[in-house]
Amino acid sequence: MLRELTNVTFALSEKETSTDEIFTIEKVAKYLCLSVPTIYGYVHKRQIPHYKLEKRLYFKKNDILEWIDKNKIKTIKEIEDEASNFIITIVR
């Protein structure tokens, strides 16, 4: 019973800190389902958040998740809602 409780506690603590995880280039490529050369291209163009220590590249999972969110494509409904709100503010 104690062992099971320890495993559950460990699993929960991993979930809480999972966004603090550090990825290597291979791991971030696998996480994003992209090739390593594609990730190198993004790094070269400074399109993906990364860290460089000596000659090695590192990526924070939280930075990658934020990067994905920033590149979200809006739905037609979201665009229509923004347009409606914009028109309402101009009319006032």
5 domain-assigned: no
Model pLDDT, residue 48: 97
- The domain that holds 69 is classified in CATH as 1.10.1660
55 domain-assigned: yes
Ramachandran class of 25: left when φ > 0, alpha when ψ lies in -120 to 50, beta otherwise = alpha
SS3 55: coil
44 domain-assigned: yes
Which residues constitute the domain of residue 83? Answer: 19-91
pTM: 0.66
Model pLDDT, residue 5: 44
50 domain-assigned: yes
The predicted-structure confidence for 7-30, as pLDDT tens digits, reads as follows: 544 554 555 456 689 999 999 999
The predicted-structure confidence for 29-74, as pLDDT tens digits, reads as follows: 999 999 999 999 999 999 999 999 999 999 999 999 999 999 999 9
How far is C-alpha 31 from the geometric centre of its chain's CA atoms? 10
Q: How many domains does the chain have?
A: 1
- Gap between the Cα atoms of 68 and 28, Å rounded: 12
58 domain-assigned: yes
